[in-house]
Amino acid sequence: MVVAIGVLLSLPGVGSTQHCLSQRVPAYKPAADAVVASPGYEMRETATIEVVVHVVWRTPSENITTEQVLSQIAVLNEDFRLLNSNQTDILPIFQQVKADTEIEFALASVDPAGNPSDGIVRVQTAYDLIGIARDDNDRRRICYSALGGSDAWCPDRYLNIWIGQFPDGVGGEAGFPGQDTLAEDGIRIDPEHFGRTGTAIPPYHLGRTTTHEIGHYLNLYHLWGGDGDEDLLCQFDDEVADTPEQAFNYRNLCPTGIQQSCGTPDMYQNYLNYTNDACMALFTTGQKMRMWATLNGPRLGLLEGQGCSVATTAPLAQVPLAVFPNPVKTGEMCFVKTAVPAFTLFLFDCQGKLWYRQNSTSAETSFLLSAIPPGPYVLQIVAAGQWATHKLVITR
């Protein structure tokens, strides 16, 4: 039995904690479709995320090959671009919501100092189970060279993936945006569940553990809305409109046909479930919207390809944010109030298109909603390591 966990999910009181941290970026597909169809709309270019893979090994078998690393990058590009060969197996009722996320991945070709690189760092460690080992200050050893691991490359520019041994039954973990210190921001995967060759073993041997954890890294929750070790009986949701509620995580299973647990068919083939790798096949349009809202917000540096803030030791803070009126009519003023003295305001639609940007030199600002089509939007503020998002609905 193998579990792929988000870091958040190992904490006590996970159910309430997870939903308090939520960015609440809903996926209102009909309204989003109207925005896409509006005059002047242009889809964003495909995002390419630079990846550095830190192979932290104790025994030679854990020092995975470059071929295995490349196989994982290939899996990510297939899964996130809807090029996976098993997409035809998606149940007919879910074919209409499967999505090409237009997110791609490439090993970094240049390190933070500007030197050529293959995007792979190899470090031998003296620690067993380095994937979960912590020091007396509760720091993850795998993320620090001085503690037997490998230092992160600028996590506001690169996606850091650490490969290290986990206990049996755990495939990996990831932090949600703003949850971890920047020095530990990224994902961690067991070498037995990374890529689709070499040390990868069934039934989680096709690289989907990494696909799953990057989903968490980009702010996606499990479809049942809770942690990895319990069935929540429809108590929570993943806050994405086109993924039906479900009660079970389908760990170690690969069902066939329609399965139900909350009165609607379960999307057990979604990457944010725990089904076997061979069973996973899709992200949805709503999940794509949520990931793009994250890339245009707290993980904006991955798109801009600049910045390096490894030295900071505090997680990003989510600050209070008030937006009113909400809903607001086209042509009316919208007022924004927060707790930071200066910030940059962004307004994105659910497909990730930037409709408005404004720099504010005070804690309050306003802007006129002209020439912006009705529909749901994500209002984002960013200021000196702090950020917040708020849903804004524009009506006629």
The predicted pLDDT at position 317 comes to: 58
CATH of the domain at 386: 2.60.40.1930
Tokens encoding 76:
């990510």
Are 214 and 321 members of one domain?
no
DSSP element (H, E) containing 76: helix 66-80
The answer to whether position 36 is within a domain reads: no
The predicted pLDDT at position 375 comes to: 85
Are 100 and 147 members of one domain?
yes
Q: pTM here?
A: 0.73
Per-residue pLDDT of the chain (396 residues; tens, 9 = 90+): 455 544 333 222 223 223 323 333 333 333 334 433 443 334 456 899 999 999 999 999 999 999 999 999 999 999 999 999 999 999 999 999 999 999 999 999 888 888 889 999 999 999 999 999 999 999 999 999 999 999 999 998 999 999 999 999 899 999 999 889 999 999 999 999 999 999 999 999 999 999 999 999 999 999 987 665 455 578 788 889 999 999 888 999 999 999 998 999 999 999 999 999 999 999 999 999 999 999 988 998 898 765 444 333 344 456 788 898 989 988 889 999 988 888 888 887 765 567 888 888 888 999 888 888 888 888 888 776 567 778 888 988
Are 191 and 76 members of one domain?
yes
Are 194 and 320 members of one domain?
no
Are 121 and 88 members of one domain?
yes
Annotated catalytic residue within 213, 239, 245, 304: 213
Are 204 and 315 members of one domain?
no
Tokens encoding 214:
């990057």
Are 282 and 332 members of one domain?
no
Question: Which residues neighbour 143 within 8 Å (Cβ) at sequence distance 6 or greater?
Answer: 149, 150, 151, 152, 162, 183, 184, 186
Q: Let me know if 213 is a catalytic residue.
A: yes
Instruction: Say which amino acid occupies 167.
Output: P
Instruction: Say which amino acid occupies 237.
Output: D
Q: Give the number of other CB atoms < 10 A from CB of residue 45.
A: 8
The answer to whether the CB of 51 falls within 8 A of the CB of 119 is: yes
The answer to whether position 372 is within a domain reads: yes
CATH of the domain at 179: 3.40.390.10
Are 296 and 240 members of one domain?
yes
Nearest to 173 by CA among 157, 158, 181, 162: 162
Tokens encoding 222:
């499990």
Q: Domain end: 249, 267, 301, which one?
A: 301
The answer to whether the CB of 129 falls within 8 A of the CB of 58 is: no
The predicted pLDDT at position 44 comes to: 54
- The Cα-based distances of 288 to 97, 240, 294, 364 in angstroms read 10, 10, 10, 31
The answer to whether position 39 is within a domain reads: no
Q: Domain end: 270, 301, 332, which one?
A: 301
The answer to whether position 8 is within a domain reads: no
Nearest to 353 by CA among 375, 329, 377: 377
The predicted pLDDT at position 232 comes to: 58
Nearest to 186 by CA among 302, 15, 304, 57: 302
The answer to whether position 147 is within a domain reads: yes
The answer to whether position 141 is within a domain reads: yes
CB-count burial class (<10 Å; 0-12, 13-18, 19+) for 44 = middle
The answer to whether position 23 is within a domain reads: no
The answer to whether position 235 is within a domain reads: yes
The predicted pLDDT at position 2 comes to: 52
Q: Which domain holds residue 375?
A: 311-394
Structural domain count of the chain? 2
The predicted pLDDT at position 378 comes to: 80
- Alpha-helical (H) ranges within 56-128 are 66-80
